[in-house]
A and B are shown apart, each in its own frame.
Chain A
Amino acid sequence: MATTALTRPSADTEMEAVYARILNRRRDNRLLPPYRAAKNEDVVDLLTRYFVAEQPGATVSAVRRVGGGASKEQFFFTLTTPDGNAEQFVLRMDPREAITETDRRREFEILEAIRSTVPAPRPRWLDADGAHFGQPAVIMDVVRGVTKPSDAGIKVSGLGTFLGADLRAKLRDQFLDYLVAIHGFDWRNAHLPSYEIPDADPKQAARWTFNYWRDLWRVDEGETRPIMALAEQWLADNQPDTGDLTMTHGDYRTGNYLFDEDTGKITALLDWELARVGDFHEDLGWTLMQIFGCWEDGKFRASDLFGREEFITEYERRSGRTVNRETLHYYDVMASWKCYIITAANGMAAARNEHNHQDVLLTFLATADAMFADDLCRLLAREPRA
């Protein structure tokens, strides 16, 4: 299918080249036929044929789907080499359209680069354009651990996980220290060929993020409402300077790390697909979103680990950085705006087009958009700037 180039004449539409490609792919894929969830036997066949070339003589067994998550199709499998060595891996594969449309090559690169800094799964094989698996895919080492306590009950997609006092005490320092470590990561000397650096001017980091999400909203024909229009204009008009470009995770929250339930040790940070070089305030605004936290006795805890002010002051103390409250406010607004786009536009478009393996989850998640609209009203009322 022909790829139609976006018109990108000015700073109003500039973004990383990979994100422009993602938008084009998203638009082009809309007319493709429905996507069917991969069956175990199909995955066995795909993996077996893949490893004929990659690991001659190896055998694939114990293929089973990984539960949870809202974005990718994931399967555990065991690969046994001719000398009898058996290792378990996870295959992470794009559906035709996902609730977050990202690039597997970038994910592979950041995992490889950052796992000497923070715990993260080791990426092993990459099919960046889906030449073998039909959809872009990455294969990673399996890391032991859970994303939520085993007694946490059923929650959709790990949102709002309640950890409890014991685990909270064990996890909170690690959670914050790893975020500080990500932001301190030496991306300048890392091998990240797919990543572009927004250093042309101080507003480029904010502009690139804004432009991508705004265009994604339009590609997926999000059904607008007045507060979304106002938020978009406000975000266009108030883009902050980024003083210190840092690596950002993009989706840093409880639910996106694995931990050992007995010791409370974090064993891996997951879901690096939205990582980019940008403004650390963007991560802080995302982590502090109410939907990823818990309320108890009228008090909010981000990711069930820190109160908002406690998180900010502890982040400053441990990182040595100063959190600019105006910049954080900007990224608070952006976080709610992005979440609205993800749930109301991206997820719904994927479901509407029958391009995902769990449409009913996506339409279920879309009902959260009222919370994000409400967040935007409260946040923009706090600072009525032009």
Chain B
Amino acid sequence: MTPNTDDRIASVIRALNEVILPHLPPEASLALEQGQLAIGHLQILRAQLDHVPAFEAEELADAKAIGTELAGGVTGGKATAGAIATLHAAVIASLPAGDAPAARKQRQAIHDAIEALVRAVAVDGDAAGKSALHGIILTMELARSQKDRKWFAPFGFDTI
């Protein structure tokens, strides 16, 4: 396809940088700040664009992995068992191939189910279940957050 997405974003950046911002008066401080941020944001989006599908696929895979671990490792009473069943259903839900919005929705459904499981375990989880919940979430979320930090490092807040 011509023009490709990268060329289109690059042209927007160039227009902002070389045509629009230089013509803003110095007193238009908010417009200048927002323009610079827009350029920075677009530059990062441009660099990440080709990697977004793989990143989001990995996000979903990680959500399924932690959901599977929790569904198999956490024990407790009736509330916990019910939350595990909901989580299991969210993990195994089938997804049309290449449907990015559906993938994001499934990832969020798994995370919502994990949140419900955390609350249920607080109600009637047993000691082993609480320990498993804590250990699995900390271990797997640490790995996930490291990936997220690298992904967002270009924004300049992080020292990773």
Contact = CB atoms under 8 A, between A and B. Distances in A.
Interface stretch (A13-21, A173-181, A308-316, A357-365): A357-365
B110 to A, nearest CB: 9
A226 B66 contact: yes
B157 A380 contact: no
Given A360-B41, A364-B41, A386-B130, A370 B138 contact: no
Contacts, number: 120
B152 A368 contact: yes
B122 A377 contact: no
B42 to A, nearest CB: 10
B30 to A, nearest CB: 5
A154 B49 CA distance: 25
User: Majority SS of interface residues in chain A?
Assistant: helix
Given A229-B114, A229-B118, A380-B138, A370 B29 contact: no
Interface string B116-155: 0011001000000011011101101110111011011001
A373 interface: yes
B35 to A, nearest CB: 9
A360 B142 contact: no
Contact of A360 (B37, B131, B137): B37
Contact of B118 (A233, A368, A373): A233
A237 B122 contact: yes
Contacts of A64: 27, 29
A64 B30 CA distance: 10
Q: Which of B36, B122, B151 has the most CB of A within 10 A?
A: B122
B141 A225 contact: yes
Contacts of A224: 108, 111-112, 114-115
B152 A381 contact: no
A102 to B, nearest CB: 21
B132 to A, nearest CB: 11
B119 A233 contact: yes
Interface string A60-102: 0000111110000000000000000000000000000000000
Nearest to B127: A386
Given A156-B157, A360-B38, A370 B149 contact: yes
A64 B135 CA distance: 53
A159 B157 contact: yes
20 contacts: A65-B29, A68-B33, A156-B156, A226-B115, A226-B141, A229-B118, A229-B119, A230-B137, A230-B138, A230-B141, A358-B37, A361-B33, A364-B155, A367-B157, A369-B148, A370-B145, A370-B151, A373-B141, A373-B145, A384-B135
